[in-house]
Structure 1
């Protein structure tokens, strides 16, 4: 038995084996941003039930900003991954589905009892379904290029910020948390939920600002500074105006989408008509026609 377990001296120059392959930081950085947004969404739920609605709205707003950043950071650093995509979807469901539903229920929907809880459930589930459909649509390789400028239905971050409109109006002096307005708030929240799962096209703005004319750069800087100053000085007024403008522009986006879809269909039909007809296939059957004279 001693032959099988003979003593030996380890080689000091042998490289140390690593159990796990190191992960580049460019892959970790976007996921850290997503996790930070998730922490803000969970904190917003706590703040909402503690009655600190102003901080809860700020938390969801910052989470929406981080959600818009993490994907761009991943593409910029070339750190996109399947894990990051799944983590982003789960974080969006909590931040823009669960958190707004619970905050709105604590704010006004509980005034109508079980029906208000049903409305909160409808909004949260609609957000989950909308995210699942978005992930499934990413695998469509035949999607025309112009359709990338539009979402199918209202995106989850926009739906969350739009659903919080009664809270914005409350901080502007409108008593939207009264029992009289509770049924209207319920109908509004359910309508936003159905907008998220609908097939109504909404403008995404992904290609906005990719090419900015040189003469518009300085005015763009001044406008951005002015916008930030207004948001900091009058946050709830600016949020309410932004939501109302966004909802008002949805019919314009629908009309524009239909016009582009019609032009795409006409161009496709014209290309099909201009394509040469396929040659008839050679037949192996004998020709029964009589021979010429």
Structure 2
């Protein structure tokens, strides 16, 4: 009778199952490391660490699907990592950079953003298997996703790094208003673009690859300006995404 218990106790787990979770832990550690850089006043490194966390966050799901090792544990770990890397870390970074000058108001703004991120991720987990959502069925996301939300929150810092005239860091109230707007966009129900659902026509393949190459080259030359332009392009695309969703929804009802 004891043999089955021993077999259950020492049940093995495939490395294939562990690898996606390791990538998620890299994102978690990058988020925490961004706070360390911010505490040392290394602002560019702190923002870069958050961007690195976003890259790892995009890779873990891909690795899991490629290895066919998706799991409920991995989904929960991913959400916990996102709260730290894209919720807590960016809020702390922005507070240490400029919001601390506003004292309690600045801390309230940081809390609002972090809370909005936690609420967004909780909503995502609650609806992760809800196929009845028209946004999901049509290939759209609900609200601004976590990595992009963190990137948009830190965009004033990127502007400061790219332009370097001190304008962004001297407008704490404006940045506070902007931060609250980003928080609201994250918890909103507006449809947003999903890169996973994008399809490129075959005849556009070469031009699209050329544009991607130009963007990558730009990152080597003017890193923060390119990231800033990507963020602005995303904001501009939001009304177009909403219009595309409404058009799909209306055509489906006919």
TM-score surpassing 0.5? Answer: yes
Instruction: Structure 2: state its 5+ residue gaps.
Output: none
Greater helix content: 2
Rg (Cα) greater in structure: 1
Of 83, 94, 103, 2:93 maps to: 103
Residues 252, 216 of structure 1: CA spacing in aligned structure 2 closer, same or farther, 3 A cutoff?
Answer: closer
- 8 A contact 1:116–1:186 mirrored in 2: yes
Aligned residue pairs: how many?
248
- After superposition, the CA RMSD in angstroms is 1.9
* Mapped partners of 1:47, 1:188: distance in 2: 23
Query: Which residue in 2 is equivalent to 1:140?
Result: 130
Between 225-234 and 58-67, report the one with greater CA deviation. 225-234
For residues 1-293 of structure 1, the aligned pairs below 5 Å read: 18=7, 19-144=9-134, 147-171=137-161, 172-175=163-166, 176-178=168-170, 181-209=171-199, 213=202, 216-266=204-254
Deviations 1:38-85 (A, max 9, x none): 000000011011100111111111110111111011011100000000
- 8 A contact 2:138–2:248 mirrored in 1: no
- 8 A contact 1:127–1:197 mirrored in 2: yes
DSSP 3-state at the match of 1:142: coil
- 8 A contact 1:149–1:205 mirrored in 2: no
* Mapped partners of 2:40, 2:138: distance in 1: 41
* Mapped partners of 2:186, 2:136: distance in 1: 21
Query: Which residue in 2 is equivalent to 1:281?
Result: none
Higher relative contact order (CA 8 A, sep 6+): 2
